[in-house]
Amino acid sequence: MAVNKVVVGNETKIDLSNDTVTEADVMSGKTFHRSDGSISTGTYDPSGVWVAILNISTQNPNLYGRDITITKR
């Protein structure tokens, strides 16, 4: 049986009941505890993350008023 709350005397030491993390939030292969106390494994794969690429002229590296292009690798 999973445990999501630890109380010693009248003091709560650990309480996972309000946690909202999901498998998609945790790196693939890493373990975590769900809000009900059960153990689960993450599925997040950062390889699909979007990356911002700034094309800055070496003669004038001021970004004000310049276009920023976002592409996916």
pLDDT of residue 2: 87
pLDDT higher than threshold 60 for residue 61? no
pLDDT higher than threshold 70 for residue 68? no
pLDDT of residue 30: 96
Model pLDDT for residues 34-55, shown as the tens digit of each residue:
999 999 999 998 876 666 666 6
pLDDT of residue 17: 94
For 3-64, the three-class secondary structure string (H helix, E strand, C coil) is CCEEEECCEEEEECCCCCCCHHHCECCCEEECCCCCEEECCECHHHCCEEECCCCCCCCCCC
pLDDT higher than threshold 90 for residue 33? yes
